[in-house]
Structure 1
Amino acid sequence: MLAYFSKHICPDCFSLTSVEAKKNDFYEVHIYVPDASNDEISKIPRKNHGALRVKCEFIPSLNASRWGNILAGKMKKTGSVGFSEGLLSSDYLRYSRIDVNYYFGHWNIREQECSIYSLIYLFVLRSLKLRYISIVKYKLVKYFRLRISRRKLRAPLKSKYEIYEALMNNDNVLRKGSFTKSELSNALFGNHYVGEYAVYQKVSKSLDWILDACIEDGEIRKVGSQDDPLYEIKGKGIHYFTLTKEHLKNEEANKLIQKQQIAIQRKMVWLTVFLVVGTFLSAIDKAEEIKRFMSSLITWLNSLIEIISGILI
């Protein structure tokens, strides 16, 4: 895969916005080699591979695979200022992090920490010319995300619980224990790069009010006074989030129980209706039997009266 990418590697300088960008049809590859041997890394759990120290960054050059398993390109070791010419053996690729960007015209796709499936996907995009399908898919996804984002922006925040819920679902916040207002806005509404400026002003102001309320309640601490200050969640904020989440969970459970009870009541109503109808129909059948009995009795009585009358006469 990397050999194919290197045959269509990006030039040192290229544009993404000018008229020349229409000619773009190449890859940009960055390889980050860990500072450990393959045997040492194989003994480390996969989830901890991200904590390994990076030994060097390698960028393949045009037609990098010139000597079989050796790649030619530019290399920058950790701590160095710039890149220098270097070689990289394919043996180091097993546990290396590979980032690939594919540029086609003004459109591009970026894949970080590529798996074998990601590399195959990037390969077929160009080789089988599936990029047009991917571009259409990208534009459709972007369109619907933009509509959802604008709808979210127009919907007012219900409570500060929504802020805590967004923060607790953000991996960066959980890892660092702090966040900025821009990170919070992104977690709540997504990357809304376009839209009405007046709407963004309302959203920004509403976030300021809620964050100030959290600070006054002692749940969040503000660090610094820059344009995009840093906020840290305190124990009281975690306590509020836990209690509120449990309360909402109980409310949802109660609502579910109520819905089940209403469903049972509706079934009982329909059952009662069916019983009434059945009773009515059975009563009609019995009424017909009574009518036939009475008719037979009257006929018998008439016959008896005629016989008695004949005897008396």
Structure 2
Amino acid sequence: MDTGNHSTAAVFILVGLTQKPELLLPFFLLFLGIYVVTVVGNLGMILLITVSPLLHTPMYYFLSSLSFVDLCYSTVITPRMLVNFLGKKNLICYSECMAQLFFFVIFVVAEGYLLTAMAYDRYVAICKPLLYNVIMSSRLCSLLVMVAFILGVLSALAHTSAMMKLNFCKSYIISHYFCDVLPLLNLSCSNTHLNELLLFIIAGINTLVPTLAVAISYVFIFCNILHIASSQGRSKAFGTCSSHLMAVGIFFGSITFMYFKPPSNNSLEQEKVSSVFYTTVIPMLNPLIYSLRNKDVKKAMGMLLVGK
């Protein structure tokens, strides 16, 4: 393969999650099971929220949008990973690699802002209950979801357009199981300062802003909960937030570990483990967290099953 300015003609080789032959089949079965649960769980959540009048509220509108995002960005990554477990060469063409990067960034950024919108929804519900229906109008909810996707698209355009300006002539072997920003930058023979700056700015903003917004929302929420007189009222208020807090902690924790850990701890295997967590495990966990820990979801599911 020529090593000139012919990046668009490149065919990359994905190293994959493991190079140990004895682990390929067990990993294939494991991640196939995870993907099936992800698809069934998120599609089921979307359908349940759509058909159940009990769940036609802003909170569940955001949750159905979150399930859609989880389904999409898991689908961008996991099927290709499954093919790599069974394939011998694990080739991915340049255009497919850039497309995977583009859609992955869209959905992972949108997920962070959707979790932020859900935190704001909980803040209004607990701190301003009398104004909840006025503030959380269908127009505002739609606008918040649209903004999440717009920010995802803008971030993806910035990363992908900057990546497409690079030449890949050092190597075409990607030491990862999908086309992420960091592994691709390691392959480029071009000056990657702009790409690294974009990664720092975009990843920083898209992690710091949602994290701060969620933290501020929950400071007000907890202060308000502590002023609730009855223990039953406090328990109910905490219950409405626990699932969301768990989802936020898992998502932003794994993202922060992946992109903001100290350079001295830079380890390819750690990066892969962290990536697996937020690309495959989290999309599976979210519908389970919200269905197992949410009384309204369980009630709507029960009503749907008995045909009432």
TM-score, L = length of structure 1: 0.24
Between the two structures, name the one with larger relative contact order (CA 8 Å, sep ≥ 6): 2
Structure in which a larger fraction of residues adopt strand: 1
TM-score, L = length of structure 2: 0.24
Structure with the greater alpha carbon radius of gyration? 1
